[in-house]
Amino acid sequence: MIQITEIDNFEQISLENDFIKVIFLPQIGGKMIKLINKKTGTNFLLEPQNIGKKYRPAYHGASFDQYDTSGFDECFPTIEACTVTTESGSKISFPDHGQLWSKAWQYQITEDETLIRTAKGVNWNYSFTKKVHLEENRFIIDYVIENYEDESLPYIWSAHPLLNTEPGDEIYLPDEIDQVILNWSNEEKLGKAGDLLPWPMVDGKNDFSTVHDINIAKAVKIFSKKLNEFGWCAFHKTKNKESLLISFDTMKIPYLGIWLTYGGWPTDNRPKHLTIALEPTNACCDSLEKAIEKKSCGFIKPMQKNEWCMEFTIVNE
């Protein structure tokens, strides 16, 4: 069942079956604001963290952390703001968290109740399309990115689902992730970008796979090394004994980004966040400029498209 209603003067689209309910705001970056387990009523996605707990549209080039910093956005074609040089020698600047979270998305609903949402590029002629539907306890996303330019488009794509966490909740990762690549931390003593750290004892003394109290005041962005096995990660909410499993094809999406903030971010005087994000991605750093240097980003050839799929499964014990 698909319904279109309104929240705070913004259009919202909900998909619902007997197991799951999901809600999107097409005018606010196509953001998914709710991923609800109907058995328990739990929303797995983080609520707005800004003053007033409200959504508001951003402008292209805005800083992501000045807005609601919640829910599930798409980061493309970069996460960190950067400037890249194209094959023809042109320089293009991409903003913080990419171009898509600050744009209004177009949408259509098919007869089989698939929701298709599309955003267009800025300073580069491309389209980013998500086809989403529900199958029992699974929420399935099919991605199609089309490049309409006459040269290849380099890109980082990263899912960015900020999760609703409580102390004691747990993160589960494949056994092959026993080390992670440091991208950023609020503690300089942890190391520099690119350093390998042990998982889950990232700082050598705290188990980061268990959500800590906000007073631990730690935040870190890390990446897996290139994954060779089936791609998955899971978030377990201990209170209601329910889990969210994220699965993806490592042949197309070979890395997992992990954002953990147990009271260590924002780094200024604003109220601190308690959240995690498990982020399938095609690169092992946040900057497209650096990913190009490392030859770890994706490319979409001229007049071609890239496609991949990701699934969210809700599991009750």
List pLDDT tens digits, range 273-282.
999 999 999 9
> Which residues, at least 6 apart from 175, have a Cβ–Cβ distance to it below 8 Å?
none
Query: Are 155 and 146 contacting, i.e. CB atoms less than 8 angstroms apart?
Result: no
What is the H or E stretch that residue 235 is in? strand 231-237
Confidence class for position 3, pLDDT limits 50, 70, 90: very high
Query: What pLDDT score was predicted for residue 187?
Result: 95
**Is pTM, for the whole model, over 0.85?**
yes
Query: Are 79 and 157 contacting, i.e. CB atoms less than 8 angstroms apart?
Result: no
The yes-or-no verdict on residue 52 having pLDDT over 90 is no
Query: What pLDDT score was predicted for residue 113?
Result: 87
The yes-or-no verdict on residue 51 having pLDDT over 90 is no
Return d(Cα 249, Cα 243) in angstroms, integer: 20
AA letter at 59: Y
The number of angstroms, rounded, from the C-alpha of 129 to the middle of its chain's C-alpha atoms is: 15
Query: What pLDDT score was predicted for residue 170?
Result: 98
Query: What pLDDT score was predicted for residue 124?
Result: 95
Confidence class for position 207, pLDDT limits 50, 70, 90: very high
Return d(Cα 87, Cα 150) in angstroms, integer: 10
Residues 54-82 have pLDDT tens digits of 999 999 999 999 999 999 999 999 999 99
Query: Are 194 and 181 contacting, i.e. CB atoms less than 8 angstroms apart?
Result: yes
Q: What is the mean pLDDT of the chain?
A: 96
- 26 dihedral zone (left: phi>0; alpha: psi -120 to 50; beta): alpha
The yes-or-no verdict on residue 8 having pLDDT over 90 is no
Residue for token pair 């980003």:
297
Provide CATH code, domain 2-316: 2.70.98.10
Return d(Cα 43, Cα 22) in angstroms, integer: 9
Confidence class for position 125, pLDDT limits 50, 70, 90: very high
- Helical spans, DSSP H, in the chain: 288-293
Return d(Cα 283, Cα 223) in angstroms, integer: 9
Query: Are 94 and 84 contacting, i.e. CB atoms less than 8 angstroms apart?
Result: yes
Peptide bond into 77 cis (omega under 30): yes
Beta bridge partners of 311: 140, 247
